[in-house]
């Protein structure tokens, strides 16, 4: 969002609308997004008006439509509602994996009875993987887990 000067010198609020929230026909934010058999999503009222005037091709692809059935795009509808919601986003409390550093997880590996959840936590976050690249304790800790589990590595 940014402010720009209006005609009367007042500050107007300019909102950048994500392009995929706009109907390809009306260019307005979709209120009831529906998809055609071509996979393209339109606002229900716009595509219905297009079809009611006798047009049979998909407006975006120009493919003839074997079916004019609509499928509600509920995921896009939820995204639009979330984006346009006036309430500030709710912040979830940080989870243990988010607050635990990757270095702490590596240090806990050798003493962990079940290292699999710790390894999953490390693998699930790409930033943690990059963070561990420079940790000299990482390779010995991973090697120790593999040896304990009977999966000796060859050098």
CATH code of the domain covering residue 32: 3.30.40.10
User: Which of 55, 84, 113 finishes a domain?
Assistant: 84
Residues 52 and 105 in one domain: no
In a domain, 53, yes or no: yes
Tokens describing residue 20:
């995929």
How many domains is the chain built from?
2
Residues 23 and 65 in one domain: yes
Residues 59 and 114 in one domain: no
What pLDDT does 12 receive?
A: 67
Tokens describing residue 146:
């593999």
Nearest to 71 by CA among 33, 101, 109: 33
Per-residue pLDDT tens digits for 50-93: 999 999 999 999 999 999 999 999 999 999 999 888 765 555 44
Residue 7 has pLDDT above 90, yes or no: no
In a domain, 101, yes or no: yes
Residues 119 and 69 in one domain: no
Per-residue pLDDT tens digits for 101-148: 667 777 777 777 777 777 777 776 666 666 676 677 777 877 777 777
In a domain, 155, yes or no: no
In a domain, 5, yes or no: no
Residue 121: how many other CB atoms lie within 10 Å = 17
Tokens describing residue 37:
């058999």
Residues 79 and 101 in one domain: no
| Whole-number Å distance between alpha carbons of 17 and 121 | 35
What pLDDT does 40 receive?
A: 96
In a domain, 54, yes or no: yes
Domain that holds residue 124: 97-148
What pLDDT does 10 receive?
A: 59
Q: What is the DSSP letter of 72?
A: E
Residues 70 and 32 in one domain: yes
| Whole-number Å distance between alpha carbons of 4 and 43 | 29
| Whole-number Å distance between alpha carbons of 21 and 49 | 19
In a domain, 11, yes or no: no
Query: Is the pLDDT higher at 5 or at 122?
Result: 122
Per-residue pLDDT tens digits for 17-58: 899 999 999 999 999 999 999 999 999 999 999 999 999 999
In a domain, 137, yes or no: yes
In a domain, 24, yes or no: yes
Residues 79 and 105 in one domain: no
What pLDDT does 98 receive?
A: 42
What pLDDT does 80 receive?
A: 93
């Amino acid at each position: 969002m940014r402010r720009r000067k209006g005609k009367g010198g007042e500050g107007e609020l300019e909102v950048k609308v994500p392009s995929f929230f706009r109907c390809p026909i009306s260019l307005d934010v979709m209120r009831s997004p529906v998809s055609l058999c071509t996979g393209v999503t339109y606002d229900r009222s716009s595509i219905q008006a297009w079809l009611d005037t006798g047009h049979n091709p998909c407006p975006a692809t120009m493919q003839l439509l074997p079916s004019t059935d609509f499928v509600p795009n509920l995921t896009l509808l939820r995204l639009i509602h979330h984006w346009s919601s006036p309430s500030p986003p709710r912040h979830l409390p940080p989870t243990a994996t988010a607050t635990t550093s990757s270095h702490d997880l590596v240090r806990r590996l050798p003493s962990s009875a079940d290292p699999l959840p710790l390894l999953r936590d490390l693998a699930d976050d790409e930033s943690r993987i990059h963070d561990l690249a420079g940790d000299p304790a990482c390779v010995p800790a991973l090697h120790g887990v593999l040896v304990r589990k009977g999966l000796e590595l060859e050098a």
